[in-house]
Structure 1
């Protein structure tokens, strides 16, 4: 933690006290607390995590693009220079994996790796997956229908994006079972103040997933295929290629980021539709609204509620000076409900035009989600297939929210018809 003084401290007033990310009630409905934060100001000091909470759309959007902030500070400072403690040595496998991925890199490393990855992860690659995505969605929905219902999260929302990413990477079907548990354990480290047991699981998953991918990369070097790993090995520009660690970290990031958002948007989105039956009936009556509807569901209840960044040089947010060495928590869920950007933001409106629905769910700036086009294809396939093949789908039991706040999703979503 930094020992530098925090300038312009906002008092931990009533609005900040409503922000309680470890409370089940808050996780179930954080939006009243966000409204209070927006009304109370533009930057709020949150002592439990020693972060500045940023709740307004314009500030979140601007700070996502501001190069005075970064996902890491190690390209400019040591831990000591930045007033931070180095992570425990026992956590190193997680940090090696995480710190070499696009999500936590800054220029020039981020620029170089994203350029090389983009040569393999092209729009054409994504578009070629569309028939596979639709086939998988059809199979999963037909299986759920044949059983008369079940857990939509476990039966459709989770397996679809995992299968798609595995197919893209060229992971054999018999090797795919550990992918979701590995991802869940690694993503536990993105929650606020993770405990040592969470870190232990993340380290183990990082080691096991990395070892598996190194073996797969070695196989593809000997016998290249039509998969993304083979394309990453072949990616080349001006004498530069990806290192083995960069390839491993890229593959893990594609799995983690490429399916966490899709899984939770699918389940959270259907729960939202069940709670807004008029909008669900509208979508069933007018399937042509699906594109707009998906963007509205991404805005209305975003699966990634918070995105953290380090302050590399002093910044000013409103009348608050936030000094170098601080950490800001950009509240995506609050930004997406900001009335200054979205008319009547607390109302689910599936007719809200996608072209004007500029939510921050996929981020912005250099860290804008590389997999956003694939996520949209997956969401269109899963929602579209469920709407057409299970028109009587209904909620069978009130779901519970997982305890995590940063990546926010349901434990299960039981449905029937």
Structure 2
């Protein structure tokens, strides 16, 4: 296996990673990065296969100790963040993952998500009402962020007066999923976990005494074969739902709008479909926008047992980096991969993952994106980007924007 360093945090790469990913996908589709100490995979087939392989997982310390992995002692700066990681379903493997996901799905049901459709439509209209007469807004702060944060907050049962706390907590926590985070970011993320956990714990206690029709009440009550979520598990999975439940939607909204702005023919299709109220069109269009510019471009997996993949030895304790953004543009899987084809008939993109860790929030993210794009372009058909260059927040793993000024 060849060795190569890909500086994924280089601002030029974050701004437009696709030319470099296309080059590497053909020349060096698998390589070991000695700086990140990970094996990178860039082709769709490899990523999809490894995501489904249960010999790889999101965590490793349930199999190997820190000493066996050659890791230093736990960082005291991230003690509470590490405890949070140990108790949510995303960073656990079976049987704990199976148990946690089963309990969460009993509360986070398709019926509960579908029941949000009308509320999401009203929220979208309200956000547009607030900005319409001004003729401009920041699509990120005034539209893309408030919608999914409000939806998740309402779903969980967070009172309106406290919702302003959620996005700042989440923004600090997710910094630790980037490669090469700073000591200050570690300290801020840990403190955010402490504050967020205390808040959710107090809210859960309130719901135990006085249940309401919200997800926290349901999670307090949910039980399967005599098993319940522990208080720490309930807290950790509520935080996970907020973080995972809006990051993809926020970044998917701004990245999708940017993609449309740069593709005038596709933009006209969207405007016409919005004017005609073509719901089915927006289902296809959102899948294509999620493929075309992947909002969460890279996920990692640990090798849980020695295996050989296509002649490549993967050793227990190694980490692999799966480049969703590259797989989603692989010409071996997608015809005209660099074309924004809004009615693409087959679109098995990797954006929500595959296998046992497939995103349980995918139906909600899809519903939010379909609704927000459809109503936005119906209400504001002349909306357009009001800047020559959009800036990114700095990291590639969670590739978000600093702002997105628009006008109409």
1:312 aligns with 2:304: yes
Picking from 266, 278, 286, the partner of 1:294 is 286
1:151-208 superposed Cα distances (whole Å, 9 cap, x missing partner): 0111110000000000001100001111000000000000002111110010010000
Name the CA distance, whole Å, in 1 between partners of 2:402 and 2:93: 34
Residue 323 of structure 1 is matched in structure 2 by 315
Taking structure 2 as the reference length, what is the TM-score of the superposition? 0.96
- Between Structure 1 and Structure 2, how many residues are aligned? 402
Instruction: For residue 81 of structure 1, give the secondary structure of its aligned residue in structure 2.
Output: helix
Name the CA distance, whole Å, in 2 between partners of 1:325 and 1:121: 33
Residue 55 of structure 2 is matched in structure 1 by 68
Q: State the 1:61 CA deviation.
A: 0.6
After TM superposition, what 4+ stretches of structure 1 lie above 4 angstroms from structure 2?
A: none
Instruction: For residue 91 of structure 1, give the secondary structure of its aligned residue in structure 2.
Output: helix
The worse-fitting range, judged by mean Cα deviation, of 317-326 and 333-342 is 317-326
Paired residues for 1:352-363 under 5 Å: 352-353=344-345, 356-363=346-353
Name the CA distance, whole Å, in 2 between partners of 1:213 and 1:27: 34
Name the CA distance, whole Å, in 2 between partners of 1:168 and 1:344: 39
Picking from 328, 338, 362, the partner of 1:346 is 338
Residue 246 of structure 1 is matched in structure 2 by 233
- Structure 1 residue runs of 5 or longer lacking an equivalent are 1-8
Name the CA distance, whole Å, in 2 between partners of 1:99 and 1:186: 15
Paired residues for 1:170-249 under 5 Å: 170-249=157-236
Name the CA distance, whole Å, in 1 between partners of 2:178 and 2:64: 24
Picking from 379, 400, 404, the partner of 1:409 is 400
Residue 30 of structure 2 is matched in structure 1 by 43
1:13-60 superposed Cα distances (whole Å, 9 cap, x missing partner): xxx5xx321211100111111112211243211111111111010111
Does the CA-based 8 Å contact 2:155-2:215 persist in structure 1? Answer: yes
Instruction: For residue 66 of structure 2, give the secondary structure of its aligned residue in structure 1.
Output: coil
Paired residues for 1:8-407 under 5 Å: 9-12=1-4, 16=5, 19-287=6-274, 288=278, 289-353=281-345, 356-397=346-387, 398-407=389-398
The worse-fitting range, judged by mean Cα deviation, of 69-78 and 171-180 is 69-78
Q: State the 1:117 CA deviation.
A: 0.7
Name the CA distance, whole Å, in 2 between partners of 1:283 and 1:151: 20
Q: State the 1:93 CA deviation.
A: 0.3
Name the CA distance, whole Å, in 2 between partners of 1:224 and 1:401: 41
- Structure 2 residue runs of 5 or longer lacking an equivalent are none
- Aligned-residue Cα RMSD (Å) equals 1.1
